[in-house]
Structure 1
Amino acid sequence: MTELHDVATRHGCVACGLHDVCLPAGIEGEALARVDRMTRDRRTLVRGEPLFRQGEVFHSLYVLRSGATRSTIADAEGMHQVIGFGSPGDILGVDGLLDEAYRTEAIALERSTLCEVPFARMEAALTEVPSLHRRMLRVLSGEVAADQDHLVAMGRQSAVERVALFVHGLVEKQGRLSRQGDWLRLSMSRADIANYLGLAVETVSRALGRMEETGMLQASGRTLRILDRAMLSAMVSAAPLRSQEKLTAIRKRAAMNS
């Protein structure tokens, strides 16, 4: 029996259904076997259980295999801001690389399983496995892109546009996981979504109601059914154009008054 088969039996990176979207994506052969060797056994969290707390010493990265998580950051007064939601294939704990302490808190929103990757083992492998090093850079780039997407959402003046952008992001994630994107089961509460988007809970509900009225989607509790993907995509892509038009109009008025 080959070594590659042995590690696949122990950890399952080779046969895992998330192979193409999580840490080993694009890594094959002995490099993949090495990723398997440095990955600890699965860890299971129940709903509400923390994966790590803000300020805890950083020691590992985690790959979410199933379930969902919510990441928050607390200010000096203890107020929590939701900054992201984890879904299968996501890598959690990257923020701990900055100063060797987790800067956020990650909580399971439902029963979740994760693979733990001790960073001390990964650090050694990064210098010896070029494909893993490139993959890690892509992971870090993904973190930056996610932060940028959040800033874009927060910059939208219309609550409907913010909610539409959020829903569109979930649809895209479903597609990357090869899941049916027309049905979304929200693991997070309306309060979590509102916190993430900087809106009131009632505003999120009204925004979803307006999207229902247009025939874009159908909302029932934590389940969303996307009825018109083209309309959803058009709203998301048209919003920056409208913002640019507003900016241009403001500049023109300022020039006329100067």
Structure 2
Amino acid sequence: MTQPATQAARLGCADCGLHAICLPEGVDEGGLARLDRLTRSRSTYQRGDSVYRQGQPFNALYVVRSGAVRVALGDADGSQQVLGFRLPGEILGIDALLDDTHRTDATALERTTVCEVPFARLEDLFQQLPGLQRKMMRELGREVADAQRHVLAMGRQQALERVALFLRGLLERYDRLSRPTDCVRLPMGRSDIACYLGLAVETVSRALGRMEEHGVLSASGRHLRIHRRDLLDALCATDATSDRKRN
């Protein structure tokens, strides 16, 4: 059962460590004050809590402030397909812009804080802060790029390459957050990774084991130590190179 989110400590946009990532460049103090007034709430969710559910009316966008969120699509028989994961500074709920209804489930993977931004008021703010609208367009483009990378990974026949592409994409996002990428803790479990990549959990574990054998990384539960990022990049390119040679 989903538990109600707790109200997070009220910190303004100017005090947030994601300021440079979440907001467009050039927003002055007046713009930040308007954004603070616009943000309805900053709530904290525990692992397994729902930020929103598929079919709920769309009223707001959500920005992940800390933690991580799984986005999944359910079907009539109750099974779910993981579509992606959102990290700090990334936006949730953009898909609901299509018909004002959330088309996915968003679930906290760990203790997670999100900022809730009422969309009706955001449209007014776009007129006052054009840079914010451009930022939103870039986020829409980022979602399209993420979907393209997902399709690319799913098109790889070798499980090792799918897992390598997933890890490289995650490390690139951590780079954007200025987080260390030589030693990381995965917010998602292997079952979520497997569902996202269309693989069995055991297959994901074997792929990580092969990477350990090749000296790419060391894995202990959700903790990964990346030894050779260049080798990880090489694994991502292997299948594409093979395809070009065949053609």
- Please say whether Structure 1 and Structure 2 have the same fold, judged by a TM-score greater than 0.5: yes
Describe how 1:66-145 pairs up with structure 2 within 5 A. Answer: 66-145=66-145
Structure 2: which amino acid aligns with 1:178?
S
Greater radius of gyration (CA): 1
Q: In 1, distance between residues paired with 2:168 and 2:241? A: 17
Report the number of matched residues: 238
Instruction: Check 1:100–1:27 CA distance in 2 against 1; reply closer, same or farther (3 A cut).
Output: farther
Q: TM-score, normalised by structure 1?
A: 0.88
Name stretches of at least 5 consecutive residues in structure 2 with no aligned partner.
Answer: 1-8
How well do the aligned residues superpose, as a CA RMSD in angstroms? 1.5
| 2:4 alignment counterpart | none
Shift of 1:216: 0.3
Q: In 1, distance between residues paired with 2:212 and 2:10? A: 47
| 1:56 alignment counterpart | 56
Structure 2: which amino acid aligns with 1:194?
A
Equivalent position SS for 2:148: helix
Equivalent position SS for 1:77: coil
| 1:177 alignment counterpart | 177
State the identity %. Answer: 55
Equivalent position SS for 1:115: strand
Q: In 1, distance between residues paired with 2:146 and 2:196? A: 13
| 2:24 alignment counterpart | 25
Structure 1: which amino acid aligns with 2:15?
A
- Does the CA contact (< 8 Å) of 1:31 and 1:131 recur in 2? no
Shift of 1:27: 4.2
Q: TM-score, normalised by structure 2?
A: 0.92
CA displacement, residues 29-54 of structure 1 (integer Å, 9 cap, x when unaligned): 13333222211231010111000000
CA displacement, residues 44-85 of structure 1 (integer Å, 9 cap, x when unaligned): 101110000001000011111111111100123322000001
Structure 2: which amino acid aligns with 1:65?
R
Equivalent position SS for 1:20: helix
Q: In 2, distance between residues paired with 1:155 and 1:149? A: 10
| 1:211 alignment counterpart | 211
Shift of 1:10: 5.6
CA displacement, residues 96-150 of structure 1 (integer Å, 9 cap, x when unaligned): 1110000000001111111110001101112332111111111111111111111
